[in-house]
Structure 1
């Protein structure tokens, strides 16, 4: 099932731009990106309070995060394909509107089911903003220069990542505001971004005959959804080995195979399978999958560690994660600047993989009484590794494709990173709930028969206990269990970072292009000058 859209076959050209012109054009885009990341991080330190107020469980906690990641993952390839067909500027604005609508309703939620549904809507908008930011930048800036501006996007990512938890913590701790304002606060930024984008972003619209592959979008969304629902519910709602497991995993595989079949025959597939004939794109996509697991495990579970294992406030939880964000900020900006000057990018991927693996491995030793300066060093290493890998995997992919595949190729890498995050958060959240319950039972049994009679200490079924209502010895057991449980999460994440490093070793470094993709000749007319700019309508 496809929708035809007729365009002229001649691509337009984006003229060479000065640094000042590029920064002006990117201003609204970076503000939109700030909104997207802020929405993902602002709830992290508020989640324990949100789930407590709405009567949720550890499964609900995980799904508030996973729902947004799931919809973002499923929507990313569609946004990428649409960007190859329609006005990129209009699509960014539509993504912002979707985000605003989801945020406003999320703030009004009275139960976790409504909140999770709203997070799905938010994720669709955030997926568009995340994918389109890289695509728009690639349409204006050559790969050689793009490292510099990718660093700026990385800096925005870092500021929003550190500012989100801090702001969310302050809002949650402020009695006259409350956690609902965590969803409302991003709305003014989104509206400002809409206005700035309208005034500053000017891009030519590619004109050619196209078909939107809606069936492909449906199949990939269904496959990913079935997989994540299984990962989240297995071991809780039903056993890992059960008919439900076979049904959901079988359904995910079947839908995935149907997706491959449809894409192989579609005239304009949502994910062109021919892209994976390129070794760099295949390896970068696989590496992004594992980087996504590492990235989201850090941002999601630290809030539980600091609040439930160390009894910190939401605000203080945000402050204590600054070393990781500082590392991410420094490495993304520095690597971008150096790549622009040298044209060499692979060394940054390798160094990032080493640091990320080491940081997660060290975080695997976390306990509730681990000295904070140890944790700060481990977080800094993790942040440095993430900053070196995330943007540069996209850069390596964009450097390998023609103009007409830029959106699809960029979104493929983003898709796999989001998929890794969604699967990682779901699986690791389930693991943590199981580990914490086991550690609590063991700890209470060690206190004696009366304590052992408490069983799981309120953590059964993934429930999150209220520490303030527990006697001191039991409270210490709960804190120890959460400290050890979060440490296990990072320990299980470390091998995925190692796999990402091994994949990066096999990526062949290709010299960065000196012209943006919008300058590429039309398909089938290699060596022919691109059409004059007057054929392009401004986005």
Structure 2
């Protein structure tokens, strides 16, 4: 494909990616209003996020495998339709249960878009040139992340209310569908179709059980209880069965275990899990921090996200262009993770009284690190993968990042709920003892410390207790996320840098850890790799 043809097709792909990213960011600032309106709890808040991440996690490898078997364009269009259908149901949801179910269905489409956009770009562009186009992906990711909270805040504060947040992505999805129909023309390789339904089902069930345990233990039942044992034991059995099916039974496994024989793929996958925990697990609760600890409106909270996403935007574009020019990518991964560790550690010091002029730079530092890390991990794996396994390998990295994100959101959400509940209960008991509020007033408000309140409706003393509790708890979440970022950094250090291939398609050779004397490689880059 010529550069012009690539850019035309890339327009539709980037619109699809924008829709996928927007689906989570546009809702972030609406979640407190949604949960309050539908009478949800902190656990419900967590599961509105986890439901999408879970189905996205479970279906990402399936979409990746389908991309190796069917027309990639048709699959992207199907994912857009699924996403739009889930969005419509979510917009009309009368209860938390229906909303969580709709978000889960939405996640199926998001999983397809997340995996397939990477696969299609890898099919069109060689790894050496992919850095430039990965920069465009990073820019779209940043734009969606910036505009999402802002747009979501404006919609929530408008007559449309929070339901409008689920409608806003549908016109973009329709436009992406039309653009792809006109511009994307890739050959479809016909071969026997053998989809690993058993493996996919077992993987999803095993992950679901462990996430249910993490999010509900300590509130609905004890950590050390028969219910906990059943959930953990069931998860271990299901995941063990999934591994057996993938290794011994499936002829077209969802996750080809042979991919992990390659050191780069194994280490990048482990790093992706840890980054998922640190990134999703901690940052998803920043909206709650700004609205419930700092008393901001959804629009104001959306404006605060500009600091983090501005850093992500700059670093993703710069790193992509420099990697394309030099062929060297590891330094960006190492430097990016150092920034992530520093940013998250500094965010661990915030509370309800921290100056916003301090919080902003901490967020920017984290964004710079994430922008230089996320896309380039996928690039490193794609460069070491045979073209026939490109879809599966790309989706495996996205899969494990989503697994880490799902586990992080669920686990840290449980930690947040426990800390906030304890802090609020202790604070309100102190108010009662001091005579600043009576038990009768609490009963009249039908107050529960596990609920997410509407701060404007609370008496000033109780509002101050909530703000202090949320501020301290969110800061604690970032401290919990630091060790996961450190493990990701350690994994990245042991990844061996391999020159980026300059060819794509079935004839492209696969990097194996040493420079290869082949016309499809960049000779200068290979020589530099040998000297290193």
Shorter-chain-normalised TM-score: which range? over 0.9
Structure-2 residue corresponding to 1:195: 178
Matched residue of 2:195: which SS?
strand
Tell me which of 494, 501, 510 is aligned to 1:513: 501
**Displacement of 1:122 after TM fit?**
0.3
Q: Tell me the TM-score normalized by structure 1.
A: 0.91
How many residues align structurally? 510
Tell me which of 84, 99, 106 is aligned to 1:115: 99
- Alpha-carbon distance in structure 1 between the residues aligned to 2:519 and 2:503: 13
- Alpha-carbon distance in structure 2 between the residues aligned to 1:498 and 1:291: 9
Structure-1 residue corresponding to 2:456: 468
Q: Which runs of 4+ in 1 moved over 6 A?
A: 455-459, 527-530
Q: 1:149 to 1:291 in 2, by over 3 A?
A: same
Matched residue of 1:359: which SS?
helix
Alignment of 1:480 onto 2:468? yes
Alignment of 1:227 onto 2:215? no
Cα shift readout 1:328-380 (whole Å, capped 9, x = no counterpart): 10111100000000111111111111110110111011111100111001000
Superposition pairs of residues 131-530 of structure 1, within 5 angstroms: 131-174=115-158, 176-265=159-248, 266-447=250-431, 449=433, 450=435, 460=448, 462-520=450-508
Structure-1 residue corresponding to 2:524: none
- Alpha-carbon distance in structure 1 between the residues aligned to 2:447 and 2:20: 32
Tell me which of 67, 71, 87 is aligned to 1:87: 71
**Displacement of 1:321 after TM fit?**
1.2
- Alpha-carbon distance in structure 2 between the residues aligned to 1:402 and 1:25: 24
- Return 442-451 or 470-479, whichever deviates more: 442-451
- Alpha-carbon distance in structure 2 between the residues aligned to 1:280 and 1:256: 23
Cα shift readout 1:300-351 (whole Å, capped 9, x = no counterpart): 2111001100110001100011000000101111000000001111111111
User: What RMSD, in angstroms, separates the aligned Cα atoms of the two structures?
Assistant: 2.1
Q: 1:519 to 1:64 in 2, by over 3 A?
A: same
- Return 91-100 or 198-207, whichever deviates more: 198-207
**Displacement of 1:212 after TM fit?**
1.0
Matched residue of 1:394: which SS?
helix
Structure-2 residue corresponding to 1:58: 42
**Displacement of 1:519 after TM fit?**
3.9
Superposition pairs of residues 22-41 of structure 1, within 5 angstroms: 22-41=6-25
Superposition pairs of residues 6-25 of structure 1, within 5 angstroms: 17-25=1-9
Structure-2 residue corresponding to 1:533: none
Structure 1: runs of 5+ lacking an equivalent: 1-16, 531-539
**Displacement of 1:21 after TM fit?**
1.8
Matched residue of 1:462: which SS?
coil
**Displacement of 1:206 after TM fit?**
1.8
**Displacement of 1:446 after TM fit?**
4.2
- Alpha-carbon distance in structure 1 between the residues aligned to 2:449 and 2:118: 41
Cα shift readout 1:190-237 (whole Å, capped 9, x = no counterpart): 011100000011111122234111111111111111111111111111
**Displacement of 1:25 after TM fit?**
1.3
Query: 2:282 touches 2:409 (CA, 8 Å); kept in 1?
Result: no
Matched residue of 2:75: which SS?
helix
Query: 1:290 touches 1:420 (CA, 8 Å); kept in 2?
Result: yes
- Alpha-carbon distance in structure 1 between the residues aligned to 2:200 and 2:74: 20
Q: 1:461 to 1:120 in 2, by over 3 A?
A: farther
Matched residue of 1:43: which SS?
helix
